Amino acid sequence: MISKILVFLQFFIIFLMLLPLGTDTKYLSIGLFVLFAGLVIGLLALNKNVLGNFNIRPDIKEECKLITDGIYGYIRHPMYLSVLLSMLGIALIYFTYYELVLFSILFIVLISKLLYEESLWECHSNEYALYKTKTKRLIPFIF
């Protein structure tokens, strides 16, 4: 149930952040750059996932495989980073208090989702403890 709530919140906030599409823009160039960086990271992550291994919910699938190479060799949650960067790009493009508040809430939801997923992985796989010592959560070499 926690997984479904977190995913609902994530997509609802993204929907709300996209509502201003077509309104005045503030930081278009940097916003598009950050958005594009997020999309590239997402594509790199999807490229390493095999069909059936990817799950939008933080639940661990029974037959899933821990991916530790490619972008996953640097950060454990590139898809979360992808969403955060992409939506930060949107927040910069339509730079308003509304967007900043929604991005802050999205950040909290995704960090909660990330921590929940990690707790499930720790119960599911002994390999995950070793993987955690070699990688960071979202930002290579930092966090």
User: Under DSSP, is residue 136 helix (H, G, I), strand (E, B) or coil?
Assistant: strand
Residue 93 lies in a domain: yes
Q: Is residue 94 part of a domain?
A: yes
Chain segment 42-73, per-residue pLDDT in tens: 999 999 887 767 778 888 877 778 899 999 99
Long-range contacts of 17-25 (CB under 8 A, 24+ apart): 17/87, 17/90, 17/91, 17/99, 17/102, 17/103, 17/106, 18/90, 20/94, 20/96, 20/98, 20/99, 21/94, 23/94, 24/94, 25/93, 25/94
Within-domain flag for 128: yes
3 in a structural domain: no
pLDDT bracket for residue 14 (50, 70, 90): very high
Q: Count up the domains in the chain and report the number.
A: 1
DSSP secondary-structure letter at 49? Answer: P
For the entire predicted model, the pTM comes to: 0.92
> Quick one: pLDDT band at residue 27, thresholds 50, 70, 90?
very high
**Interval 93-131: pLDDT, tens:** 999 999 999 999 999 999 999 999 999 988 888 899 899
pLDDT surpasses 90 at 141:
no
Q: How far apart are CA 51 and CA 95, in angstroms?
A: 37
Domain contains 14: no
* pLDDT (average), residues 127-141: 90
- In sequence order, which ranges of the chain are alpha helices (DSSP H)? 2-18, 28-48, 78-93, 97-124, 127-134
Task: Enumerate residues 6+ apart whose C-beta is below 8 A from 62.
Answer: none
Q: Does 71 map to a domain?
A: yes
Residue 123 lies in a domain: yes
Q: Is residue 103 part of a domain?
A: yes
Q: What average pLDDT score do residues 72-90 get?
A: 96
Residue 75 in 3-state DSSP? Answer: strand
| Encoded amino acid at 66, one letter | L
Mean pLDDT of the chain: 92
Task: Give the residue numbers spanning the domain of 41.
Answer: 25-53+66-134
Contact 68, 45 (CB under 8 A): no
